[in-house]
């Protein structure tokens, strides 16, 4: 019987080993009714372009573990995982993640449910087989609507209490950075945790560059206001 048990053990695939990496990153992108099909595809293409930028790949390789784990989720009334957890270590793995972003159909629809989206992002981190040195939700959206689900601040506090940082990328549609209150509302109600920050982005071509800069800062574990961030972005020729 002992030998039979041993034989069965050797013939059975080992349980999934926990992966250690520098960063677990949930890319939580707006797919609510204000985002049409073209904008949805543009957002995916922007993240695909950003994640495969040599500067972003270099930032990943310069982390303590030389890797990060990323998943892409779209949110509306419901939430849908577009690309499951992927460990990125080099340009090849970044390219595979980017390619997987473009094909899937839209699965999240309806009005805004930001609180539910934040909790869904937390669940993706809490229930995977990955142990990240840091854990971050990268939230993007173009409003503060919250028609369904828990209050935004309640969800934010729960996420932060579980040692997860929330950063935010408010999408500004009118081109007015100074007069738009959305960044301030995101700062007051959505972001939280160590080194949390808001990085506004216009809805046009500048969106891709904002995503790239945001990814580099998240991978490096810093905020836009630091001298280190300025040196990092300048040295990697981002936003130029």
DSSP state string for 93-136: HHHHHHHHHHSSPP---SS-BHHHHHHHHHHHHHTSSEEEEEEE
Reported confidence tier of residue 165, pLDDT bands at 50, 70, 90: very high
Q: Mean pLDDT, to the nearest integer, of 102-117?
A: 92
Q: Are 100 and 137 within 8 A, CB to CB?
A: no
Q: Are 60 and 92 within 8 A, CB to CB?
A: no
Q: Mean pLDDT, to the nearest integer, of 135-157?
A: 94
Rounded CA-CA distance 229/144 in Å is 28
Q: Quick one: tokens of 176?
A: 């007015």
Reported confidence tier of residue 225, pLDDT bands at 50, 70, 90: confident
What percent of the chain is modeled with pLDDT above 70?
Answer: 88
Q: Mean pLDDT, to the nearest integer, of 73-97?
A: 97
Conformation bin of residue 69: beta by default, left when phi > 0, alpha when psi is -120 to 50: beta
Q: Are 23 and 134 within 8 A, CB to CB?
A: yes
Reported confidence tier of residue 1, pLDDT bands at 50, 70, 90: very low
Q: Mean pLDDT, to the nearest integer, of 150-173?
A: 95
Residue 78 has pLDDT above 70, yes or no: yes
pLDDT of 210 reads: 93
pLDDT of 15 reads: 41
Q: Mean pLDDT, to the nearest integer, of 95-100?
A: 97
What distances in angstroms separate CA 152 from CA 33, 111, 128, 180, 191, one per listed residue? 18, 14, 24, 20, 10
Q: Mean pLDDT, to the nearest integer, of 98-103?
A: 94
pLDDT in tens, 169-188: 999 876 554 456 899 999 99
**Better-predicted residue by pLDDT, 102 or 239:** 102
pLDDT in tens, 28-60: 999 998 888 999 999 999 999 999 999 999 999
Q: Quick one: tokens of 51?
A: 């994640």
Chain centre to alpha carbon of residue 60: 14
Rounded CA-CA distance 23/198 in Å is 19
Q: Mean pLDDT, to the nearest integer, of 164-168?
A: 98
């Amino acid at each position: 019987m002992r030998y039979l048990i041993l034989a069965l053990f050797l013939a059975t695939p080992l349980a999934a080993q926990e992966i250690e990496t520098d960063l677990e990153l949930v890319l939580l992108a707006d797919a609510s009714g204000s985002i049409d099909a073209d904008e949805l595809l543009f957002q995916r293409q922007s993240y695909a372009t950003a994640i495969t930028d040599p500067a972003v790949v270099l930032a990943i390789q310069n982390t303590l573990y030389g890797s990060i784990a990323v998943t892409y989720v779209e949110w509306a009334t419901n939430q849908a995982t577009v690309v499951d957890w992927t460990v990125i270590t080099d340009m090849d793995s970044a390219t595979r993640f980017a390619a997987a972003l473009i094909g899937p159909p839209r699965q999240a629809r309806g009005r805004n449910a930001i609180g539910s989206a934040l909790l869904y992002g937390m669940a993706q981190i809490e229930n995977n087989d990955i142990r990240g040195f840091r854990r971050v939700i990268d939230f993007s959206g173009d409003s503060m609507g919250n028609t369904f689900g828990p209050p935004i601040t309640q969800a934010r506090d729960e996420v932060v209490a579980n040692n997860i940082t929330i950063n935010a990328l408010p999408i500004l549609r009118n081109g007015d950075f100074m007069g738009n209150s959305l960044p301030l509302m995101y700062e007051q109600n959505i972001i939280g945790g160590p080194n949390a920050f808001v990085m506004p982005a216009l809805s046009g071509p500048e969106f891709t560059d904002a995503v790239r800069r945001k990814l580099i800062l998240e991978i490096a574990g810093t905020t836009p206001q630091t001298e280190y961030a300025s040196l990092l972005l300048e040295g990697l020729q981002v936003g130029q």
